[in-house]
Amino acid sequence: MSPELAPLVGIDWKSFLRTAAPLAALTDVLTMVLHPLVFFVLLPANLVWAISRYQRRRPIPIGSGQGARMGALMGLLSFAFFLAFFLVTVSFQHGQYRDIMVSRIHEIAAQNPDPQAQQMLQWFATPDGLVMFTSIALVTVFLICLVIGTGSGAVVVALGKGRKRP
């Protein structure tokens, strides 16, 4: 393949990152300020914006698979910013985080009539259990970011195929 054609094939990740990274950070900041469920609207909306801006700069066809990969990257970036904000917050407010999580775990345990479930939930309230609980929660958030990003990217590109770009 000649060097002149190389930029016209595939995704120019550097170009996409210039738009996607700030939008992923904006998604996380607004999600933390407004409400966690806003994420399910903001990530797809900002992904639409990022892909449309990318397509204006690079007006070549993008397949659904490429859109899915762009969405997965946006989801990964969004999780990275979330993780950074989370770790900074927890490091400065470790005691408050622990107190809130332990009290919430105790509330859930009190509502569950199963003694085995109560025993497991009580373990989550221990220092080791809280680390495990937080790790499970972070892995879950990571997977949600990837699934929402990948699915949204594929759908955005698939729905945008019929439109003409100016």
pTM (two decimals): 0.83
Q: What is the pLDDT along the chain (166 residues), one digit of tens a residue?
A: 444 544 556 899 999 999 999 999 999 999 988 998 999 999 999 999 999 999 999 888 889 999 999 999 999 999 999 999 999 999 999 999 999 999 999 898 889 888 898 899 899 999 999 999 999 999 999 999 999 999 999 999 999 864 544 4
Q: 164: burial class by Cβ within 10 Å (0-12, 13-18, 19+)?
A: exposed
